């Protein structure tokens, strides 16, 4: 049977399995049910990989991209290529008396998953509600394409857009980079790279939606408190970062326990990456301080690029942070990446960068994507997205 037909048939069976999970788990919190659906896709993908049909990654990607949306009566939507990178452009149909805002959007998915399709509905919402031209970037994914491939694709597409704003009717003074999760990481890295540029329009703002911004410490309070909370487990967060860096998850245990970075390097960055910089109210759900562990040269050699700001933007020097544009950061209480956002918020504020911070006390990682889901819909996700739109409209 051709692979596509097999996967389509298998997807149908998987849908039935997911429905079974949903019906049998009605007393389970909605986030747990979403996680069971997601885990089922991973498990089924692993079975297919073991019997030689396809890789687990390709199956999960296929499942994620199955949903297609029809035409939008309020938007022109077109697929193009910017610097050999696929992009999807969303332009409001309604006439505008002036040039529009521009938003370059980088999707999440741990640098491994996600696509133009997975974030289609989100990008449509942003374009419609904020009356902006949105460019969604289909950057290369790991493990096939390791760091810095995704970063380079996002940077090059942003540069291309900034050089051709007039073609899309975009105001050069109102261009924002935006991303969720891994996309938030990429948005922060691109924003830092462009901060000192004088020959291009300056970015008006950056929007970071529960971003992952560092890989030095996976034992910060939020990583301990939410280590087993869907949709992003602590172990999975480290796994994704390693896949992006090296194309494999070697040294995962060392990264999780904190024995992957030399003590002197940790101390160098402790002024920026430390539980001491997390407000006390975020430690009340439980936090156990960890002893600093050293590492071997062999381990450090495999992950030393974790200290590069293009990979871990939280580690950028103050001289770079000071030049960053106005920022919006969204964090969720039940998210391992919560403290990455809190630490970056502090760094920005300490360096005089205006920050709008919105914290979803009842939110979890990935909640924004569920704002209008047929199966899973959360008021907090819609609330967070509306705050993002309000921020955009204020620019």
Edge-to-edge order in the sheet of strand 355-364: 75-82, 85-92, 132-137, 100-106, 170-180, 205-209, 326-334, 355-364
The domain made up of 70-395 is a member of CATH 3.30.540.10: no
Which pLDDT belongs to residue 371?
A: 79
User: Is the CB of residue 339 less than 8 Å from the CB of residue 215?
Assistant: no
* Other beta carbons less than 10 A from residue 365's beta carbon: 28
pLDDT at site 3: 43
Q: What is the 3-state secondary structure (H, E, C) of 173-192?
A: EEEEEEEECHHHHHHHHHHH
For 219-236, the pLDDT digits (tens) are: 999 999 999 998 899 999
Whether 191 is catalytic is no
Measure CA of the first residue to CA of the last residue in the chain; give whole Å: 53
- The pLDDT of residue 53 is 62
Q: Alpha carbon of 85 to those of 160, 166, 172: distances in Å?
A: 10, 20, 22
pLDDT tens, 300-331? 999 999 999 999 999 999 999 999 999 999 99
Of the residues 115, 132, 181, 327, which is catalytic? Answer: 181
Q: Residue 273 in contact with residue 223, Cβ under 8 Å? A: no
Is residue 181 flagged as an active site residue? yes
Q: Cα separation of 113 and 100, whole Å?
A: 30
Question: Is residue 382 within 8 Å of residue 375, measured between CB atoms?
Answer: no
Q: Is residue 164 within 8 Å of 292, Cβ to Cβ? A: no
What does pTM read for this prediction? Answer: 0.88
Cite the residue boundaries of each domain of the chain with CATH code 3.40.50.1820. 70-395
| Mean pLDDT per 10-residue interval, the chain, length 395 residues | 40 35 37 55 61 64 66 97 98 97 99 96 98 99 98 99 98 99 99 94 98 99 96 96 98 98 98 98 96 96 99 99 99 99 99 99 94 76 97 98
Is residue 139 within 8 A of residue 240, CB to CB? The reply is no
| 358: Cβ contacts below 8 Å, ≥ 6 apart | 328, 329, 330, 331, 384, 387, 388
Contact 368, 122 (CB under 8 A): yes
DSSP state of 209: E
Instruction: Write down the pLDDT at residue 31.
Output: 52
pLDDT of residue 103: 99
In the annotation, is 335 catalytic?
yes
Helix extents (H) in the chain: 3-24, 30-50, 56-64, 120-130, 149-163, 182-194, 221-225, 234-246, 252-257, 263-269, 297-303, 318-321, 338-350, 379-393
- The pair of structure tokens assigned to 114 is 């996600």
345 contact partners, CB below 8 Å, separation of at least 6:
329, 331, 355, 357
Amino acid 66: pLDDT: 60
Q: Which of 171, 180, 217, 335 is catalytic?
A: 335
Q: Please tell me which residue in 107, 119, 260, 365 is annotated as part of the active site.
A: 365
Structure-token match 């007039």, residue found? 166
The reported pLDDT for the residue numbered 27 is: 34
pLDDT of amino acid 383: 96
Give pLDDT, residue 198.
86
Which of the 8 DSSP states describes residue 356? E
Distance CA 279, CA 59 (A): 41
- Classify residue 140 as exposed, middle or buried by CB count within 10 Å of its CB (0-12, 13-18, 19+): middle
């Amino acid at each position: 049977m051709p692979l596509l037909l097999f996967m389509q048939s298998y997807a149908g069976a998987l849908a039935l399995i997911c429905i079974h999970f949903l019906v049998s788990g009605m007393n389970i919190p909605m986030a747990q049910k979403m996680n069971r659906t997601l885990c089922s896709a991973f498990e089924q993908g692993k079975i297919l990989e073991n019997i030689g049909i396809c890789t687990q990654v390709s199956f999960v990607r296929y499942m994620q991209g199955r949903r297609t949306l029809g035409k939008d009566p309020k938007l022109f939507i077109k697929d193009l290529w910017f610097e050999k990178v696929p992009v999807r452009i969303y332009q409001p149909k309604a006439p505008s008396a002036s040039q529009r805002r521009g938003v370059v959007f980088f999707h999440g998915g741990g640098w491994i998953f996600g696509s133009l399709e997975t974030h289609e509905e989100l990008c449509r919402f942003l374009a419609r509600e904020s009356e902006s031209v949105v460019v969604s970037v289909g950057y290369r994914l790991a493990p096939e394409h390791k760091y810095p491939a995704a970063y380079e694709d996002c940077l090059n597409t942003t540069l291309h857009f900034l050089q051709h704003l007039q073609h899309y009717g975009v105001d050069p003074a109102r261009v924002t980079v935006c991303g969720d999760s891994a996309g938030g990481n990429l948005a922060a890295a691109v924003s830092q790279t462009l901060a000192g540029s004088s020959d291009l329009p300056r970015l008006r703002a950056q929007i970071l939606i529960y971003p992952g911004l560092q890989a030095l410490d996976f034992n910060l309070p939020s990583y301990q408190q939410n280590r087993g909370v869907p949709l992003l487990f602590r172990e999975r967060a480290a796994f994704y970062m390693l896949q992006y860096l090296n194309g494999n998850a070697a040294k995962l245990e060392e990264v999780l326990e904190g024995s992957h970075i030399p003590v002197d390097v940790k101390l160098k960055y402790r002024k920026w990456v430390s539980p001491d910089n997390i407000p006390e109210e975020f430690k009340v759900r439980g936090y156990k301080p960890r002893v600093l562990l050293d590492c071997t040269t062999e381990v450090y050699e495999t992950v030393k690029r974790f200290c590069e700001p293009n990979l871990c933007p939280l580690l950028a020097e103050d001289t770079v942070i000071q030049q960053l544009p106005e920022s919006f950061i969204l964090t969720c209480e039940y998210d391992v990446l919560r403290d990455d956002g809190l630490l970056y918020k502090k760094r920005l504020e300490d360096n005089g960068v205006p920050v709008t911070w919105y914290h979803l006390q009842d939110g979890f990682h990935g909640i924004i994507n569920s704002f209008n889901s047929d199966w899973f819909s959360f008021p907090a996700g819609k609330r967070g997205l509306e705050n993002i739109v309000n921020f955009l409209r204020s620019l």
